[in-house]
């Protein structure tokens, strides 16, 4: 692997792409530390530092993670790249519902350019709305952040209202558009997906602080109680197992064998080849987790405001139970992840279209008739794989909260033990490594991983080997997740016996 990194700098095109990507990522990190004119970020930082262990602080900390810490710093990039991602998701879902947008998507490059332009316009509108709401919240922080006392922490906004509102919304909108442009430039001229890399680099920016907090938690100063070396070993093992589980969930796929019939075109014989159709275990990626988190955020805020306005104790208690750390939240969270996993697959995975394409090009799945039976077979396989993927997503998404609320692990450490941030980080790093490996293999260099090849002249034996490999992969996945569960139980037991 180290030689692969060395060889990547020997290829001129790849080297220029890597340095170009690093330069633009540096610009993005600089913008996350430039405060807005007229704002004092220190009261906000002090408040969230004390509220980090609460449910409300964890929710705001999640959004702050996506902005790379720019939200708490009151920076120009406080909105982050999330408005652009929200607009992209909206138009991606609308293409499956609105016929006009669906036709644009099928028109090739011209149609995709129009969709991209519409997405940019929607990004500006979302930035204006979110920026206005954020500035109004910072002017009256006690209404949004429960427990914020202006007399204790101080005022966040230190200038006139309308001047600050106008300029700050313009600056934050321009900052999001600059991030959008940086992401597009990285995708075109750099290496990897630009928007995903911007989110990932924001998540990874807190690694030095998390490392410092980890050291202080296990090896505290003299006279301060700490966890000790055995707990540090257990946490390290849990981190390795969680990372392995995420990698296996992201990379896991079921290979459906496909055979192409021979065709005679003129004097040439076409087809007759064997291939496979990869179906991912986690086809929807991290989208169900993002959707579920966003959906649960709105009812909690609405019930809290209505309960406080009309003095309804039932709604107030329900809003508190919808915060992280309560069983109502996690049961609703798991149900929404399951729902959105199936929803995303139903929108994006088209078994009828895949079956028609296979039939058009003379392909078929051995043992399955072409046409409608093939579509039913693919739908049958994907339905059951989606259930497994949704269960894995739920376990990984809840893991940081278990560490945060049950084991009292600091939030900046817990986010690296699963959750949305860890899923995004692992997926983006794997995708970027694949692109670099493609450049290396094209220049006859070894990639990051050396893969063995099994040669066989018997197609039936090759299919059997592929099916056995799929079963073995799924078995490894369950083994890793079982080990995560056992190590988590061990960590909780150590904490329990220490406290009693």
**Residue from 261, 263, 279, 275 nearest 363 by CA:** 261
pLDDT for res 121: 93
pLDDT for res 463: 40
Q: What is the pLDDT along the chain (500 residues), one digit of tens a residue?
A: 667 777 778 888 888 999 999 999 999 999 888 888 888 878 777 777 766 555 555 566 667 777 777 888 888 898 888 889 888 888 887 887 888 888 888 887 888 888 889 999 999 999 998 888 888 877 777 655 655 666 666 677 777 778 888 888 999 999 999 999 999 999 999 988 888 898 888 888 878 877 787 777 777 766 555 566 677 777 788 888 888 888 888 888 888 999 887 766 666 666 567 888 888 888 888 878 877 876 776 676 677 667 666 777 777 777 777 777 778 888 888 888 888 889 888 888 889 989 998 888 888 898 889 889 999 999 999 988 898 888 888 888 888 877 777 777 777 777 777 777 888 888 888 888 888 888 888 776 666 655 544 344 444 443 443 444 444 555 555 555 555 555 555 555 555 444 55
pLDDT for res 465: 38
- Three-state helix/strand/coil letters over the chain: CHHHHHHHCCCHHHHHHHHHHHHHHHHHHHHCCCECCCECHHHHHHHHHHCCCCHHHHHHHHHHHHCCCHHHHCECCCCCCHHHHHHHHHHHHHCCCCHHHHHHHCCCHHHHHHHHHHHHHHHHHHHHHHHHHHHHHHHCHHHHCCCCCHHHHCCCECCCHHHHHHHHHHHHHHHHHHHHHHHHHHHHHCCCCHHHHHHHHHHHCCHHHHHHHHHHHHCCCCCCCCCCHHHHHHHHHHHHHHHHHHHHHHHCEEEEEEEECCEEECCEEECCCEEEEEEECCCCCCHHHHHHHHHHHHHHHHHHHHHHHHCCHHHHHHHHHCCCCCHHHHHHHHHHHHHHHHHHHHHHCCHHHHHHHHHHCCEECCCCCCCHHHHHHHHHHHHHHHHHHHHHHHHHHHHHHHHHHHCCCCHHHHHHHCHHHHHHHHHHHHHHHHHHHHHHHHCCCCCCCCCCCCCCCCHHHHHHHHHHHHHHHHHHHHHHHHHHHHHHHHHHHHHHHHHC
CATH superfamily of domain region 1-205: SecY subunit domain (1.10.3370.10)
pLDDT for res 470: 47
Taking a C-beta distance cutoff of 8 angstroms, is the pair 206, 152 a contact? no
pLDDT for res 324: 73
pTM of the model: 0.75
pLDDT for res 458: 44
């Amino acid at each position: 692997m180290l030689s692969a990194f060395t060889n990547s700098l020997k290829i001129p095109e790849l080297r220029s792409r890597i340095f170009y990507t690093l330069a633009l990522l540096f610009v993005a990190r600089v913008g996350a530390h430039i405060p807005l004119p007229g704002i004092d970020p220190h009261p906000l930082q002090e408040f969230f530092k004390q509220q980090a262990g609460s449910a409300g602080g964890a929710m705001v900390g999640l959004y702050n993670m996506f902005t790379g810490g720019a939200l708490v710093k009151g920076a120009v990039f406080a909105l982050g790249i999330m408005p652009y991602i929200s607009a992209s998701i909206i138009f991606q879902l609308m293409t499956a519902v609105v016929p006009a947008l669906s036709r644009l998507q099928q028109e090739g490059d011209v149609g995709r350019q129009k969709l991209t332009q519409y997405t940019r316009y929607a990004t500006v509108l979302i930035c204006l709305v979110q920026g206005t709401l954020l500035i109004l919240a910072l002017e009256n922080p006690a209404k949004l952040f429960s427990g914020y006392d202006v007399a204790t922490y101080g005022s966040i906004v230190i200038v006139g209202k309308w001047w600050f509102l106008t300029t700050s919304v313009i600056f934050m909108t321009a900052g999001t558009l600059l991030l959008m442009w940086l992401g597009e430039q990285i995708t075109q001229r750099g290496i990897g997906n630009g928007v995903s890399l911007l989110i990932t680099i924001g998540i990874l920016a807190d690694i030095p602080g998390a490392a410092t907090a980890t050291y202080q938690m296990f090896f505290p100063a003299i006279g301060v109680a700490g966890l000790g070396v055995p707990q540090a070993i257990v946490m390290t093992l849990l981190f390795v197992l969680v990372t392995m589980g995420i990698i296996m969930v992201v990379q896991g796929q079921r290979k459906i064998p496909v055979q192409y019939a021979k065709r005679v075109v003129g004097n040439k014989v076409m087809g007759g080849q064997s291939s496979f159709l990869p179906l991912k275990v986690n086809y929807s990626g991290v989208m169900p987790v993002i959707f579920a988190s966003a959906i649960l955020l709105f009812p909690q805020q609405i019930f809290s405001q209505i309960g406080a306005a009309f003095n309804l104790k039932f709604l107030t208690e329900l809003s508190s139970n919808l915060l992280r750390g309560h069983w109502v939240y996690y049961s609703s969270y798991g149900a929404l992840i399951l729902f959105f996993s199936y929803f995303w697959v139903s929108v994006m995975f088209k078994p009828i279209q895949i079956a028609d394409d296979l039939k058009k090009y003379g392909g078929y799945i051995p043992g399955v008739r072409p046409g409608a039976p093939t579509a039913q077979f693919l739908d049958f396989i994907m339905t059951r794989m989606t259930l497994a993927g949704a269960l894995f997503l739920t376990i990984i998404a809840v893991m940081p909260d278990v560490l945060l609320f049950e084991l009292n692990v600091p939030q900046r450490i817990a986010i690296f033990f699963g959750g949305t941030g860890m899923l995004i980080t692992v997926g983006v790093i794997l995708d970027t490594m694949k692109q670099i490996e493609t450049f290396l293999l094209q220049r006859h260099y070894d990639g990051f991983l050396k893969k063995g090849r099994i040669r066989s002249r018997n197609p039936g034996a090759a299919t059997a080997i592929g099916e056995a490999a799929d079963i073995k992969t799924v078995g490894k996945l369950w083994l890793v997740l079982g080990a995560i569960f056992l190590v988590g139980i061990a960590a909780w037991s150590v904490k329990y016996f220490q406290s009693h």
